[in-house]
Amino acid sequence: MPLIAVIVFTALIPVANWVSPTMVEQGWLTWPLIFLALAIGVRGANALTRWWSTRD
């Protein structure tokens, strides 16, 4: 799992919990947040890799 995804997901947990504690407790937001964090992490890692490989 990309480090960025871990950071983003960790940051989103208290936010989601503050917005809607019952939804978090029931697990409605847990999986969407995991997938969102993974998508952001993968995109960020790909962009970083592209930038790193194209620099001089």
- Residue 31 lies inside a defined structural domain of this protein: yes
* Residue 30 domain boundaries: 3-50
How confident is the model at residue 6, as a pLDDT?
75
Q: Which residue is it, tokens 């029931």? A: 26
For the stretch 11-56, pLDDT in tens is 777 777 676 666 656 666 677 777 888 888 888 888 888 888 887 6
How confident is the model at residue 39, as a pLDDT?
83
Q: How far apart, in whole angstroms, are the C-alpha atoms of residue 19 and residue 13? A: 10
- Residue 18 lies inside a defined structural domain of this protein: yes
The total domain count for the chain is: 1
How confident is the model at residue 4, as a pLDDT?
74
- Residue 55 lies inside a defined structural domain of this protein: no
